[in-house]
């Protein structure tokens, strides 16, 4: 992604202007999905999300900031102002209303949508696919986990939560701006595109026949893989399971009934990421040996 200006931009912070009523009203409307989709814009709250949006080069239409936050994050606010982003001072009460959180952090940016069409997705070796995942906190945490595991994309399919929901954006901790996100596609279409690109489709399912630590499953984890994760309450129904090449269960060694969606996704994604990294290192070492760059003493 294109990079924004460095956060430590020098120079005095321009005098912030008071927000016009129309601008506050427009930002407040973005709490509703219909207005987000109409304007193709959403709210990113907190210094982490705002900084990652700025670094990524995402479209930022404006920044609301309280006086204490401006003091704490002077370099970030100054750099955004120097880049031509309108910076507007608001009271703590107005920030609480805009951010819709119990303890807002004093920075809130109006950002443009960052998702890409399914047809524009490359062929990454690891993808997370959310099928009718409704909880925004879970969805944002899976997005953050996929980013940490080095996944190449996250797909929000079928009736999954809007990735621009405020809770989802906060739970992603800036990862929304780090990797390609596809939204609003059907699971069938997503699976067809991923399979055509050479990815193996694995459904994470608690009642699957094979556990993740099965040797045959482990042997295939280094392959390009798309993991399907289902709804928090009912998982993946039969019609969705049939879309996968196989179903795999996260083994439970203790007395817990199950893992929640975000925890299970972390286990699955990191299992694939580790297997792929080990294979890459092994292949690189074999290539060096074949080329004669590794010699016996």
- Expressed as residue numbers, the domain containing 194 is 118-284
For β-strands 107-112 and 126-131, DSSP reports them as unpaired
Question: Is 109 strand, coil or helix?
Answer: strand
DSSP 231: B
pLDDT of 295 reads: 52
For residue 56, what is the domain's CATH number? 3.30.1330.30
My answer on whether 124 and 261 are in the same domain is yes
- With tokens 């969606």, the residue in question is 261
CA distances from 254 to 209, 248, 258, 268, 269 (A): 19, 18, 10, 18, 21
In a domain, 293, yes or no: no
pLDDT of 127 reads: 98
My answer on whether 272 and 131 are in the same domain is yes
For residue 203, what is the domain's CATH number? 3.40.1280.10
Spatial distance between the Cα atoms of 27 and 109, rounded to a whole number of angstroms: 9
pLDDT of 102 reads: 84
CB-based burial, 276-290: b 16+ in 10 Å, e otherwise: beeeeeeeeeeeeee
Spatial distance between the Cα atoms of 237 and 262, rounded to a whole number of angstroms: 18
Of 112, 139, 169, the last residue of a domain is 112
Of 68, 95, 112, the last residue of a domain is 112
pLDDT of 11 reads: 42
Orientation angle between helical segments 92-99 and 21-29, nearest 10 degrees: 30
| Beta carbons within 8 Å of 238's beta carbon, 6+ residues apart | none
Spatial distance between the Cα atoms of 255 and 240, rounded to a whole number of angstroms: 28
* Residue stretches of the chain with pLDDT short of 50: 1-16, 297
pLDDT of 208 reads: 72
In a domain, 224, yes or no: yes
Of 112, 141, 166, the last residue of a domain is 112
End-to-end CA distance of the chain: 45
């Amino acid at each position: 992604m294109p990079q924004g200006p460095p956060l430590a931009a020098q120079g005095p912070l321009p005098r912030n202007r008071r927000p016009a009523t129309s601008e506050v009203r427009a930002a407040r409307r973005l709490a509703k999905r219909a207005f987000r989709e109409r304007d193709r814009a959403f709210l990113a709250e907190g210094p982490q999300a705002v900084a990652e949006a700025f670094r990524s080069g995402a479209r930022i239409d404006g920044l609301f900031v309280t006086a204490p936050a401006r003091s704490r994050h002077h370099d970030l606010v100054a750099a955004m102002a120097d880049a031509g982003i309108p910076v507007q001072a608001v009271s703590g009460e107005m920030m609480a209303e805009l951010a819709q959180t119990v303890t807002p952090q004093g920075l809130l940016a109006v950002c443009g949508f960052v998702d890409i069409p399914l047809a524009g997705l490359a062929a990454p070796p690891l993808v997370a696919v959310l099928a009718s995942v409704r909880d925004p906190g879970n969805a944002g945490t899976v997005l953050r986990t996929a980013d940490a595991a080095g996944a190449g994309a996250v797909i929000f399919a079928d009736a999954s939560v809007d990735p621009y929901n405020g809770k989802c954006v906060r739970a992603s901790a800036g990862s929304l701006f780090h990797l390609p996100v596809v939204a609003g596609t059907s699971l069938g279409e997503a699976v067809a595109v991923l399979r055509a690109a050479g990815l193996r489709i694995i459904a994470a399912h608690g009642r699957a026949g094979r556990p993740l630590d099965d040797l045959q499953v482990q042997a295939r984890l280094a392959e390009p893989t798309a993991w399907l994760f289902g709804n928090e309450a009912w998982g993946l129904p039969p019609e969705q399971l049939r879309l996968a090449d196989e179903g795999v269960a996260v083994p439970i060694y203790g007395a817990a009934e199950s893992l929640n969606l975000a925890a299970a996704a972390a286990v699955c994604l990191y299992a694939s990421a580790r297997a792929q990294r080990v294979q890459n290192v092994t292949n690189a070492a074999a290539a060096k040996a074949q080329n004669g760059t590794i010699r016996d003493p």
